[in-house]
Structures are given as C-alpha cells and as structure tokens.
Amino acid sequence: MRVGLNAGEPIAEDDPGGRSDLFGTAVNLAARIAASADAGEILVADVVRQLVAGKDFLFNDRGETRAARVRGPGARVRGEVAGVRDAERGGAR
C-alpha cells in the first residue's frame, strides 16, 4: 500500500447516477505523491508537514521533490511519516 497526503480544497461534483467525485489540483497532487511512494510508505506534501507542526508527528525528511506536471508551492514533497510521538515515553509508536 502507498499513501500520499495533501491538503487543499477539492472540487466535488455529483454525476447523474448520484455518485460524488472529487477532483482538482489538491486531489491530483495527492495521487502523484502516492505514486512516488515506495510500498508501505506514507508520503506527505510540504503543506501537510506545516499544518501538523508541533502535533507530535515524526517525519523522515526525503529532501524536496517536485511533483510532475503540478505547479505552485504545493508541488513540493518533503517527507515520509515515520510515526507519532508517544507523549508518555517520548518515543515513536
């Protein structure tokens, strides 16, 4: 399993069959991030790291990577989720 996380505003649209679909830059970038991940990885856009700063999430910095065919500051991918800090023990779980 590969996971790509991004934050942004998706566009939602209902089709005639009553199903909803999400699309737009935020969704496209999340899909491209997921495609860049190795098996078992959770990769996050830089904006996600900024949003959870100080919330006890641990990251392994993979350096900056640009997502193909995506423009703007949200196109930067910086890290892999390494775990969540265990507040009682001070380590990762």
In a domain, 93, yes or no: no
Look at residue 37 in the predicted model and tell me its pLDDT: 80
Residue 78's domain is classified under what CATH number? 3.30.70.1230
Cβ neighbours for 55, distance < 8 A, ≥ 6 positions apart: none
In the chain, the DSSP E strands lie at 3-5, 11-14, 20-23, 42-45, 57-66, 76-84
Look at residue 18 in the predicted model and tell me its pLDDT: 80
In a domain, 89, yes or no: no
Domain of residue 20 covers: 3-84
Q: How many domains does the chain have?
A: 1
Checking DSSP bridges between strand 42-45 and strand 76-84, what pairing results, if any?
Answer: antiparallel
In a domain, 91, yes or no: no
pTM: 0.68
- The string of pLDDT tens digits covering residues 26-80 is 888 888 888 878 888 888 888 888 898 888 888 877 776 666 665 555 555 555 6
Residue 93 confidence class, pLDDT cut points 50, 70, 90: very low
